[in-house]
Structure 1
Amino acid sequence: MLKAIFTWWNGATIGARFTFWRRGVFVGKDDLGNSYYQAKDTSDSYDGRKRRWVIYNGYAEASKVPAEWHGWLHHTFDQPPTIEPLLRRSWEKDTQPNLTGTVHAWRPKGSIARGGERQKASGDYEAWRPE
């Protein structure tokens, strides 16, 4: 309960959820469990368009928003993917959140986190020495 009150990075706070409930309309959910909302009116809009929000499922990371929802959030698409799904091409990959800083992050050979040693430099490298 305290986490929902004080931490904005673990989903939305109680105040944000109250605002979305009072001023917004639930539009849909994506495959990652993120919830999307749109304002009921343009009263707090600066450009005449209804505001759109996302409540992240878990840690708030913008790369967890799939392309079709990202386009809707930024008013690229008028209709949400629940009404008008984005056409997927055969060569497109699934959305993958940013893994930097997690145990699933890529670590090259020789990385300290991987426990290896870096390969010796080849003959074309000369270390800089201050003179």
Structure 2
Amino acid sequence: MGLLKSTFTWWEGSTFGTWMGLRGKRKTGEDALGNVYYEGGKDVNGLPRRWVIYKGANDASRVPPEWFSWLHHQIDDVPDRALPQVRRWEKPATPNMTGTALAYRPPGALEKGGRRAAATGDYEAWVPE
């Protein structure tokens, strides 16, 4: 099932066609999440084409900010050489948590018990005339 699955299911990683399209392209680097970055050829504006091959699910929020800037030609060199060292107070990037147990749930959401704060009396309902 491996070859058949990689031929048709793009949502669980790169397909066979993607790997064939990366032949002759240069592997540029890898991030802490295991995503691999490639560069090669030119786009219509004459800039080098750049790709990311996700490790795991294809979710663009899993690309760290430094590699996002490389993918979008905001920096020319790979982040390790082009950007300053990470400061000790900087937090690591987190992927989009929507749809998981770690997603933000505001007070009053059904997932948090469904209890809204009591009304304060400063609300006046609109009445059409």
Same fold (TM over 0.5): yes
Query: Of Structure 1 and Structure 2, which has the larger fraction of its residues in helix?
Result: 2
One-letter amino acid of the counterpart of residue 65, structure 2: A
In the TM superposition, residue 92 of structure 1 has moved relative to its aligned partner by 2.7
Partner of 2:31: 30
Match 2:123 to one of 113, 125, 128 = 125
Deviation string 1:77-120 (CA, Å, 9 cap, x unpaired) is 221134x0521234432111111222210112221122231122
Contact 1:68–1:85 under 8 Å retained in 2:
no
Structure 1 position 64, deviation (Å)? 1.1
Residue identity over aligned pairs, in percent, reads 50
Between 1 and 2, higher relative CO (CA 8 Å, sep ≥ 6) is seen in: 1
What does 1:107-126 correspond to in 2, within 5 Å? 107-126=105-124
Deviation at 1:9, TM superposition (A): 2.2
Q: State whether residues 75 and 82 of structure 2, in contact with CA within 8 Å, keep that contact through their aligned partners in structure 1.
A: no
**Can you give the 5+ residue segments of structure 1 that lack an aligned partner in the other structure?**
none
Task: State the secondary structure of the residue aligned to 1:68.
Answer: helix
Selected match of 1:66 from 61, 64, 67: 64
5 Å-filtered alignment, 1:1-131, equals 1=2, 2-20=4-22, 22-39=23-40, 41-42=41-42, 45-82=43-80, 84=81, 86-87=83-84, 88-128=86-126
Q: RMSD over aligned Cα, in angstroms? A: 1.9
TM-score (normalizing by structure 2): 0.84
For 1:115 and 1:23, how far apart are their aligned partners in 2?
Answer: 55
Given that residues 10 and 59 in structure 1 are in contact (C-alpha distance below 8 angstroms), is that contact kept between their aligned partners in structure 2? yes
**Is the contact between residue 12 and residue 58 of structure 2 (CA under 8 Å) also seen in structure 1?**
yes
Equivalenced residues, count: 126
Query: Secondary structure, in 3 states, of the residue corresponding to 1:51?
Result: strand
